[in-house]
Amino acid sequence: MALARLTGLGSILLGISLALFLPDVDGAPYAGLTGWMGAALLFIGVWFGEENAIVFSAIAYAIKVTILSALTGPVDPPVWAQALIVVLIVELASLSVEARVRGRLAGPAVTRIAVAGLLAMIVSVGLEALVYGTEGTGTGLRIGAVAAVVFLGGWLTMAWRRATD
């Protein structure tokens, strides 16, 4: 139960901190409202073990990012940080509910959270660099797009061969 309580508390604190961060621009209260809705859903999900509330909480945070992106000025906190926090929120909240129902060992759980957070951050930072760094020429974007197509094609081929073996 200690693991469930700790992870539940951690996810709620992260959810509240994400809701608190808002840029000082017009329309920010709408994003703030969405963020607080996400935090409230997260609290319900963790407290009552409602897994769907955790899903809707993550959706609320995605809507908040969408609203923030439509406002004037840069998205604050940066997108990669928001992605990382939302991944951590989902991981911690899910772990909290699972630990109560099925029980989880702390070691593998921490490893899983670290891997997921790292992967999300790397992908997000890489994509940001790709998008904002290639606005001038578009060369980097083309290289990235070709690499993505090659990767996706390779993965699809591998999946197809595994399925037909």
Partner 1 sequence: MIRYSTTRLRAYAATGLVGMFGALAVGHPEPALFAVPMVVLAIVGLVAARPPEVEVRILDAPTSLVEGERRKVTLVIEANEGISELTVNLAPAPGIEIVGVEGGDLVDGTSVAVRLAGETEIEVSIVAQGWGRRSLGPVQAYVMSPLGVVEHRWTFEETVRMVSIPSDAVVNEMLVPRDTNLHVGDLVSKLRGAGSEFAELRPFHHGDDPKALNWRVSSRSGSLWVNERHPERNGDVVLVVDAQTQPGTGTDILVDRAVRLAGSLLREYGRRRYRLGLVTVDGIVRWMAPGSGEAHRRRVVEQLLSVQSGDSGRLAIERGLARAARRPALVIVLTPLLDDSLAGLAHSMRVSGIDLAMIEIDPIGFLAAPTNEARMAGRRVWRMERERLRDLLAGDGIPVAPWREGEPPDVPLARIAGWRSTWRLPV
Binding site for partner 1 (CB under 8 A): 51-52, 54-55, 58-59, 61-63, 65-66, 68-70, 75, 79-80, 82-83, 86-87, 90-91, 93-94, 97-105, 107-108, 112, 115-116, 119-121, 123-124, 127-128, 131, 155, 159
What is the secondary structure of 14-48 as a DSSP string?
HHHHHHH---SSTTHHHHHHHHHHHHHHHHHHHHH
CB of 13 to partner 1, least distance (A): 18
For residue 82, CA distances in Å to 17, 48, 76, 103 come to 11, 25, 9, 29
CA distances for 54 relative to 37, 112, 116, 157, angstroms: 11, 18, 17, 34
Query: Whose Cβ is closer to partner 1: residue 12's or residue 82's?
Result: 82
Closer of 1 and 24 to partner 1 (Cβ): 1
Q: What is d(CA 146, CA 123) in angstroms, rounded to the nearest whole number?
A: 16
| Of residues 37 and 65, the one with the C-beta less far from partner 1 | 65
At closest approach, how far in Å is the CB of 70 from partner 1? Answer: 4
CB of residue 161 to partner 1, shortest distance in Å: 13
User: Of 107 and 136, which CB lies nearer to partner 1 in the complex structure?
Assistant: 107
**Count of alpha carbons within 13 angstroms of residue 107, beta-carbon side:** 0
